[in-house]
A and B are shown apart, each in its own frame.
Chain A
Amino acid sequence: ETGVTQTPRHLVMGMTNKKSLKCEQHLGHNAMYWYKQSAKKPLELMFVYNFKEQTENNSVPSRFSPECPNSSHLFLHLHTLQPEDSALYLCASSQEAEIHPLHFGNGTRLTVT
C-alpha cells in the first residue's frame, strides 16, 4: 500500500475512445502530480496541482485534460489519443508543491491501439 492509489492498473483504448485515469491519495498532502513514464526515458512532468489549483502544464497536448476536484483526488481525462501516448502514467503527491519527496502510485499502463 503506497498511500497513493491509481485505477485502472491497465488500460487499452482505441484512438477514438474517451477514458479517464483516477488517482486518490490518503496522505493528507496538498499537491498532486501527473507524470508520464516511457521506457528508457526520464519521467516527464505533465501537470501539477497545489491546493487544488493547477500550477504546471508542461506543454501537454489538449487530448490530456486534468481535473482536481479536491486535494485527495486527481483525474486525467483522455480523448483521441495517439499510439505514441502509450506509456505508464504515474500519479504522485507531496506535502505541498516543491516540497518533496514525492509519493507515487503504481501507475496506469496505457496502451493506445
Chain B
Amino acid sequence: EPEVTQTPSHQVTQMGQEVILRCVPISNHLYFYWYRQILGQKVEFLVSFYNNEISEKSEIFDDQFSVERPDGSNFTLKIRSTKLEDSAMYFCASSVIGDQGFGPGTRLTVT
C-alpha cells in the first residue's frame, strides 16, 4: 500500500537557521498538509495545499513558514528562522478528498 514518506527523520538546527522538511505524498493524491505535534501536546494543523496554492492555514503558520511543491512529487515545509518553540514532530499528510494519510514525521530539534 502506498505511503507518505518524509525526510529527514530527525533534524537538529540552531536557533535562527532555516530548515526545509521534505515529504513525498501518495502519488495520486491532490491535497497536501502539514501538521505539527509538540511533545505531549495535540496534533495541530499548520497548512493545506491544493492546486499549487495554499487552501487553508492556521494561526501558527505565520510569515516564518512557507510551503512549496517544487516538482511533481515533493512537498516541502520551510521555516525561515527557527525558534526554540518550533521544536516538534512535523507530519506531512495527503489525501484524494477526505481520508488523510500521514507520514512518519520529522522530529525537529532547535537548540
A interacts with B: no
Interface, chain A (partner B; CB < 8 A): none
Interface, chain B (partner A; CB < 8 A): none
